[in-house]
Amino acid sequence: MSRRGGVSLLWIGLAMAAAMWMTACSDSSQDDPVGDQRLVYRHALDGAPRSLDPAQASNVYAKILAVNLYDTLYRYKYLARPYQLTPNLAEGMPQVSADGLIYTIRIKPGALFIDDPSFPGGKGRAVAASDFVYSIKRHFDPETRAQGAWLWQERIVGLDQWQKDGADYDQEVPGLRALDDRTLQIQLISPFPQLAHTLAQGFSAVVPREAVEHYGREFAINPVGSGPYRLERFNSSGAVLEKNERFRQHPLSLEAEGYDPASQARLGLNALDGRVPPFMDRIEVPFIAEDAARWNAFIAGEVDFIKAPVTQFDRILASRNPPTLSEELSQRYNLAANLESGFVHTDFNMDDPAIGYHPDPDQASRNKALRCAIVNAFDWDQRNEVFYYGIGRAFSGIIPPTAPEFDAAQSRLAPQRDIAGARKLLREAGWNPRNTPVLEYGFPSSVTERQMFEQFRSFMADIGYPPDKVRPLTFATYGDYARAYLNREVMLTTTGWTMDYPDAENTMQLFYGANASPGSNSANYVNPEFDRLYRASATMPPSPMRTSIYRSMNRIVMEDCATISGISRTLILLWNRELAMLPDRSFVGGFFFRFVAPGVGESSLRGESSD
């Protein structure tokens, strides 16, 4: 190598280093001269969305961002509990024909997409009813890799056929039409009382066709919506949202949002009544999966909100029932105990002849006794105490406490552990340590899951089940686990189900025969009576009769011992006291961001931010 060559190489190296430095240090947000005066809310998430395309908003993290970047026709009232729907982009609740088949929805005037190069002249245009039609069609286009089609599959006239015909966007769907720029009409195949709920999901958010076609696959990281915020930055560490200055002017009415002065006066929301959201200029959403890092960021004041890690509950809580904040922390933070809108349950694979259905009626009966013994042996109190700090809510069945149809009276009686009853069942059915089948308990590999398995094994040992016959079946990732149980290869499957909307139909379908694997009925449970009731209730609007049917279905599943269920976890949400807000991880989800506002003494909300 000559000296000259060495010098050239040095220059090339220096140039590359300079380019690298400029790329790595390209965060211009700190150079904003007015940055220090703007209101910033920093909301830490304990996981990250992979995509910001509403068609792929399948997890809570993606939904939270989707409903802020995009508009949905409906949303849930900010403060009303139980949860209630309210119009969002829609002008009012849908007009429904007498037969429940035709929904007509008007959208509000003045809704505009944000400015973006995908529009002519870069200027965002008005949102039209046809945009909604396009957005729903995308779910049925295989190219989109959408995850929300199940909400409308076999529901809307002509939509499934449109997919079979090749998903040509210029071809009309008879049951999904824009009557004019502001009027939308949906024609159903049969009544679907939950339709309005599906229109409050992130999946149903309205996207402009120009942007989807302009960005192609990268639309997932270049959101172009009409929501209260627009995206400034998104990467694996977090997202930064800026207020959409063109968001429609619609004042907040606390009364319309379900404000309850008796229980919510402490939140400091009164001053917001009549003001126009969104109230914060900027929302930063760091994704912090590691519990310790999330807690440290919160304590250091770098984020305003966290879902508290269970490992910190000892430090955070002064009491468990109801959960209250320790005196030290209550000077700086507010707490909300948010019962999750779902539940954790362990399903038996009814397709497995060793534990589930069997062609021989005697063996089928013995298998049922075995399952019921296992259900009786499960100690929900211990599970709650060890893994959920004793603040989860165990209940019997498949209707969780957040569902309006939850039967509090029934669930108080169960699930009680009954070791003697379990042993009796085994004995009467002729099961003994020698002839019991090997139980394979599946889970994705993690320390907590392993501990849960070991606890399950100890429960089984209490009824005389040989420990060497209760075996772990581990998977490297959740995707591998899902593949196995959706292919009916796992005998005992533990999963969490988060309800999509507050209607027990959403959990009943978990045990509907037609939804067996690879559908969401991972128990592969088939009971003709249950299925008949499911079909009968599917078209019924909410009513005492429908609730009664749901409860009957609940009993059927529990009597068949198809699942060990369940527990709803209580999430401890903590936020900076300087903020006037009521956070929620259930159905309101990310919709509350627009209502977050500075409260008394909001000095720390202005200026430099953490991420």
Partner 1 sequence: MREVMRPLARKLFQALLLVVGVTLISFLLMVWFGPDQTYTLIGKNATTEQIAEVRHQLGYDDPFLLRYGEYLLELVTLDLGVSNASGESVRTLLARTVPISLVLMIPGFVLGNGVGIALGLASAHRRGRRSDRLITALSVTGMSISFLVVLIAFQVLFSTPYGLDLFPVRGWRVSGWTSYLHYVTVPTLALLFVTFGYNTRFYRALFIEEIGRDHIRAARALGASESVILWKHVLKNSMVPIITRIMFSIPLVVISGSLLIESYFGIPGIGQATFEAITSGDQPVLKAVVGLTAVAFVAIQFLTELLCRRLDPRLG
Sole window of 28-36, 368-376, 428-436, 524-532 interacting with partner 1 (rule: CB under 8 A): 28-36
Sole window of 63-71, 147-155, 360-368, 377-385 interacting with partner 1 (rule: CB under 8 A): 147-155
Query: Does the protein bind partner 1 through residue 609 (CB under 8 A)?
Result: yes
Helical spans, DSSP H, in 250-330: 261-264, 291-299, 313-316, 327-330
Query: Does the protein bind partner 1 through residue 508 (CB under 8 A)?
Result: no
Helical spans, DSSP H, in 25-128: 60-69
Which of 226/609 has CB closer to partner 1?
609
Gap between the Cα atoms of 507 and 503, Å rounded: 8
Footprint (CB under 8 A) of partner 1, residues 513-532: 515, 518-520
Gap between the Cα atoms of 50 and 288, Å rounded: 14
The CA-atom distances, in angstroms, between 160 and each of 171, 434, 484 are 13, 52, 28
The CA-atom distances, in angstroms, between 321 and each of 310, 313, 389, 463 are 15, 13, 11, 31
Query: Does the protein bind partner 1 through residue 416 (CB under 8 A)?
Result: no
Query: Does the protein bind partner 1 through residue 476 (CB under 8 A)?
Result: yes
Footprint (CB under 8 A) of partner 1, residues 269-288: 286-288
Which of 350/377 has CB closer to partner 1?
350
Query: Does the protein bind partner 1 through residue 480 (CB under 8 A)?
Result: yes
Which of 276/292 has CB closer to partner 1?
292
Query: Does the protein bind partner 1 through residue 1 (CB under 8 A)?
Result: yes
Gap between the Cα atoms of 498 and 587, Å rounded: 10
Gap between the Cα atoms of 90 and 221, Å rounded: 26
Which of 27/428 has CB closer to partner 1?
27
Torsion angle of alpha carbons 163, 165, 168, 169, nearest 10°? -50
Gap between the Cα atoms of 477 and 181, Å rounded: 46
Helix axes 447-461, 361-377, angle to 10 degrees: 110
- The CB-of-511 to partner 1 minimum distance in angstroms stands at 13
Work out the widest C-alpha separation in the chain, in whole angstroms: 92
The CA-atom distances, in angstroms, between 69 and each of 40, 49, 534 are 17, 13, 36
DSSP string, 170-191: TS-BTTEEEEETTEEEEEBSS-
Helix axes 419-428, 361-377, angle to 10 degrees: 160
Query: Does the protein bind partner 1 through residue 27 (CB under 8 A)?
Result: yes
Query: Does the protein bind partner 1 through residue 447 (CB under 8 A)?
Result: no
Which residue, among 68, 44, 55, has the nearest Cα to 220 in the 3D structure? 55
Using CB under 8 A as the binding criterion, the count of chain residues that bind partner 1 stands at: 64
Query: Looking at 3, 4, 24, 408, which residue binds partner 1 (CB under 8 A)?
Result: 24
CB-CB neighbours of 504 under 10 Å: 27
- The CB-of-514 to partner 1 minimum distance in angstroms stands at 9
Which are the contacts of 75, defined by CB distance < 8 A and separation ≥ 6? 67, 85, 86, 88, 200, 588, 591
Query: Does the protein bind partner 1 through residue 451 (CB under 8 A)?
Result: no
The CA-atom distances, in angstroms, between 487 and each of 6, 87, 507 are 60, 40, 21
Query: Does the protein bind partner 1 through residue 217 (CB under 8 A)?
Result: yes
Sole window of 118-126, 223-231, 359-367, 476-484 interacting with partner 1 (rule: CB under 8 A): 476-484
- The CB-of-52 to partner 1 minimum distance in angstroms stands at 8
Query: Does the protein bind partner 1 through residue 221 (CB under 8 A)?
Result: yes
DSSP string, 353-365: TTTS--SSHHHHH
Sole window of 14-22, 409-417, 580-588, 595-603 interacting with partner 1 (rule: CB under 8 A): 14-22
Query: Does the protein bind partner 1 through residue 540 (CB under 8 A)?
Result: no
- The CB-of-515 to partner 1 minimum distance in angstroms stands at 5
Which residue, among 293, 366, 338, has the nearest Cα to 569 in the 3D structure? 338
Joined together, the tokens standing for residue 395 give 């209940």
Which of 302/454 has CB closer to partner 1?
302
Query: Looking at 296, 446, 448, 552, which residue binds partner 1 (CB under 8 A)?
Result: 296
Task: Phi first, then psi: give them for residue 307, nearest 5 degrees.
Answer: -85, 115
Query: Does the protein bind partner 1 through residue 220 (CB under 8 A)?
Result: yes
566: alpha, beta or left, given left = phi > 0 and alpha = psi -120 to 50? beta
Query: Looking at 10, 14, 179, 293, which residue binds partner 1 (CB under 8 A)?
Result: 293
Footprint (CB under 8 A) of partner 1, residues 229-248: 235-238
Amino acid letter, 268: G
- The CB-of-198 to partner 1 minimum distance in angstroms stands at 12
Query: Looking at 136, 149, 335, 499, which residue binds partner 1 (CB under 8 A)?
Result: 149
Query: Does the protein bind partner 1 through residue 131 (CB under 8 A)?
Result: no
Which of 24/408 has CB closer to partner 1?
24
Query: Looking at 54, 148, 356, 502, which residue binds partner 1 (CB under 8 A)?
Result: 148
Each residue 32-71 as x (binds partner 1 by CB under 8 A) or -, in order, gives ----------------x-xx-x----x-------------
- The CB-of-350 to partner 1 minimum distance in angstroms stands at 17
46's enclosing H/E stretch is: none
Which of 83/475 has CB closer to partner 1?
475
Which of 396/521 has CB closer to partner 1?
521
Which of 17/600 has CB closer to partner 1?
17
Query: Does the protein bind partner 1 through residue 145 (CB under 8 A)?
Result: yes
- The CB-of-27 to partner 1 minimum distance in angstroms stands at 5
Gap between the Cα atoms of 296 and 607, Å rounded: 20
Gap between the Cα atoms of 452 and 438, Å rounded: 18
Residues within the interface to partner 1 (CB under 8 A): 1, 19-21, 23-31, 48, 50-51, 53, 58, 142, 145-150, 153, 216-221, 235-238, 286-290, 292-293, 296-297, 299-300, 302, 476-480, 482-483, 486, 509, 515, 518-520, 609-611
